[in-house]
Amino acid sequence: MQTDVNTAHRPVNDDDARVWDIAAAICDPEIPVLTIEDLGVLRAARAGPGGEAMVVITPTYSGCPAMDAIRDDITSALTLHGYDGIRVNIELAPAWTTDWMTDAGKAKLNDYGIAPPTGKAAAGPVRIGLSVKCPQCASLNTRELTRFGSTSCKALYVCQDCREPFDYFKVL
């Protein structure tokens, strides 16, 4: 099942929506305050005949090691809710973008101490970010320490005012 940005929403059909809601509650194993719905990783869900269920997820990047754990968590959750014949499809296209993250997810990141992505993903020329707001003290007086932080999708920054290090979820 091919998906795109426009099809990644909670289904209207009650049976499909039930599958979506179960999958949407799965937390990201690397950032447990976020669900896969918050991240925009959950792309589609469908209920099939005879208790079957199908879910489509898109990794934040093609080599994301969390996909196996997320797939297993979705399968376990759906099994606990009486589904069998469960398929979890991992789709690489279209590529995931931070534009798919929910506003609630970005707020959760900030509350957790990770600066959420700012701006929109580049569709043409790459825009240069001028500053990243510290999630501890809200200062814009920050600097990047390393382009890759605790995971590949985050960079490590330090606040020059409060002196606290923090992760920044990169715009992708």
Contact 128, 119 (CB under 8 A): no
Alpha carbon distance 139, 126 (integer Å): 24
Mean pLDDT computed over every residue of the chain: 89
Q: Does the pLDDT of residue 172 top 90, yes or no?
A: no
pTM: 0.75
132-146 pLDDT tens trace: 999 999 999 999 999
Per-residue pLDDT at 36 exceeds 80: yes
**What percent of the chain shows pLDDT beyond 70?**
90
Residue 51, pLDDT > 70, answer yes
Q: What's the pLDDT at 78?
A: 98
Q: Which two tokens stand for residue 87?
A: 């398929």
Q: Which amino acid is at 108?
A: K
- In the chain, where the domains are located: 5-96, 113-169
The answer to whether domain 5-96 has CATH 1.10.8.60 is no
